[in-house]
Structure 1
Amino acid sequence: MRGRTVVVTGGTRGVGAGIAQAFAQAGARVLACARRPPEQPLDGVEFAPLDLRDPPAVRAFFAALPRLDALVNNAGGTPYRRLTDADAERHARVVELNLVTPLTASLAAYDHLRRARGSVVMIGSVSGGRPSPGSAAYGAAKAGLANLAASMAVEWAPEVRVNTLVVGMVRTELSHLHYGGPDGLAAVSRTVPLGRLATPSDVGAAAVFLASDAAAYISGASLLVHGGGERPAFLDAGTVNKEDRKEDGREDGKEDRRQGGLG
């Protein structure tokens, strides 16, 4: 990534900071956009104040850049909020932050990216592909973001590549708010096949790959960064144990899965 310029929205903390630092370590000039600066300066990362929900300011910011090779749409998030706990306007703001602002930034960056034959990396979420009680508006926005990226990849080809990172649970400085203290984090980590939550640098490495020449023929893709996903609940809910499966010849895929009601 040496000699290239990368913008990371929401790149001042958590996953965004990990992404920004990964690009800086790969040799890029990195600008992290957010409303507030990072609490501690990030090595090799420049801070650019920007409210992504202000379209004129977003357009002015990108127009002032001398060049741009990659845009990482990371800014987003949501509090835990059940649908009936807030009015539609508050849920709409979650959709705006997680879906509309990536569209706004991508359109503002398009001319730069087309000239550079660059790329867009959307930071999606596993919440966009499964029910998300307590964060339904967020999940809906992330589902829309993946579809938006796939459509962009077709419309903007061959000059601009567009891909999505579908991110699972990540351990950040705010993880305790979602999962509790050390015991909660350990318990949640055990639900992940790889045995741990992702780190921001894990997500950063994947973002650098998608923006680099190593991914020159990858566009319109959704790359899962979730440690293997989640163990299906029915595996632990059923009452047939492993020994019973062996005796009945139903272990290691020997049985006809359709007879057990599986697709």
Structure 2
Amino acid sequence: MSDDDAPRFDFPGAFDLSGEVAVVTGGSRGIGRAIAHGLASAGAAVAPVSRTESDVEEVTAELGEYGAETCVATADVADEADVLDCFDTVAAELGRPSVVVNNAGVNPEAALGTPDRVDTDGFDKVNNVNLRGAYACAHAAADHLEATGGSLVNVASVGGLVGLPRQHPYVASKHGLVGLTKSLALDWAPDVRANCLAPGYVATDLTEDLTGNEELAASIRERTPLDRFADPAEVAGPAVFLASPAASYLTGATISVDGGWTAR
């Protein structure tokens, strides 16, 4: 693209996602739910994917309040056949996905601890969702994204950029997701963009054990320059940006949404 061909943005129109079809895995709660809301409010048709149909139906009802087209699509991202069926459903009901947000992730208690405590089964369970599941979605979405000139957004973590004690499977999966994003960006350029978000500690149902433990929560806030946990909507904003034409020159990038955690 020459300088003369470069986009000329009409802000805030550069953030308009009208006509886009978005898939958000892990879209029924927490960060994924907030991202689904953000994309719908920007004009996209959105499929908030989760394993549980009733949870998906609840979110699609919420997204309808923006006037957004939605559909009920379920998948366990650790099951490749499930993922392929999910993308077929979205394509049939909403059209080819042009935005894919890989947000589904786990970090169960059984996978937390020192290496002598966490066995390889715990390691595999985390990586099958967080990393292998994200790749399964990228694989299933590839033809759609290439046909639409779309955008992939992987939701990693500060644990994809730095080490975190007692979270070895999780940290390995999120570091892998950052690396996968870079490789996808190289293979898909110039037609498809692939970028990554690295959130810090976000107040969701998955972090209730942290926010409910005042001593532990205080130590996290002390380590975070902005001195608080994030609201899920504060991760949704950067996700909408990465999906939009405003980020048209970003690919292979990882944006830290961590209140300054990795600035130290």
The aligned residue for residue 10 of structure 2 is none
Counterpart of 2:224 (choices 177, 192, 195) is: 192
Alignment of 1:17 onto 2:42: no
The 3 A distance-change label for structure 1 pair 102 and 231 is: closer
Counterparts of 1:54 and 1:113, CA distance in 2: 21
Q: CA deviation at 1:84?
A: 2.2
Secondary structure, in 3 states, of the residue corresponding to 1:18? helix
Equivalent residue number for residue 217 of structure 1: 249
> Aligned residue for 1:74?
103
Answer yes or no: is 1:170 the counterpart of 2:197.
Answer: no
Q: Tell me the equivalent position of 1:4.
A: 20
1:165–1:222 Cα contact (<8 Å) kept: yes
- Which residue is equivalent to 1:119? 151
Aligned to 2:87: 62
Q: Equivalent of 2:46, from 18, 25, 30? A: 30
Distance 1:62 1:231, change over 3 A: closer
Write the distance in 1 (CA, Å) between the matches of 2:72 and 2:166: 32
SS of residue paired to 2:47: strand
The TM-score with structure 2 as length reference comes to 0.82
Deviation at 1:38, TM superposition (A): 2.5
C-alpha separation between the residues in 1 aligned to 2:101 and 2:51? Answer: 16
Structure 1 segments of 4+ aligned residues over 6 angstroms from their partners: none
Give the distance between the partners of 1:174 and 1:58, measured in 2 at CA: 23
Corresponding residue of 1:256: none
1:180 aligns with 2:212: yes
Aligned amino acid, residue 58 of structure 2? P
Structure with the largest fraction of helix: 2
What displacement does 1:116 show?
0.7
* Structure 1 residues 20-48: Cα deviation after superposition (integer angstroms, max 9, x where no partner): 11111111111111111428823116442
C-alpha distance in 2, partners of 1:24/1:130? 32
If you compute each CA radius of gyration, which structure gives the higher value, 1 or 2? Answer: 1
Offset at residue 85 of structure 1 (A): 2.1
SS of the aligned residue for 1:175 comes to: helix
Taking the TM superposition and a 5 Å limit, the aligned residue runs for 1:224-243 are 224-229=256-261, 232=264
The residue that corresponds to 1:53 in the other structure is 78
CA shift, 1:165, in A, is 0.4
Would the alpha carbon gap of residues 183 and 93 (structure 1) be closer, same or farther in structure 2, given more than 3 Å must change? closer
Secondary structure of 1:6's aligned partner: strand
Could you state the TM-score of these two structures normalised by the residue count of structure 1? 0.82
Which structure 2 residues correspond to residues 138-177 of structure 1 after superposition, within 5 A? 138-177=170-209
- Contact 1:192–1:231, Cα closer than 8 Å, also in 2: no
Alignment of 1:201 onto 2:201: no
| Residues 191 and 231 in structure 1, CA contact (< 8 A), matched pair in contact too | no
**Does the Cα contact within 8 Å between 2:56 and 2:74 map onto a contact in 1?**
no
Q: Distance in 1 between matches of 2:252 and 2:153?
A: 10
What amino acid maps onto 2:102 in structure 1? Answer: N
How far apart in 2 are the matches of 1:173 and 1:109?
29
Percent identity of the aligned residues? 37
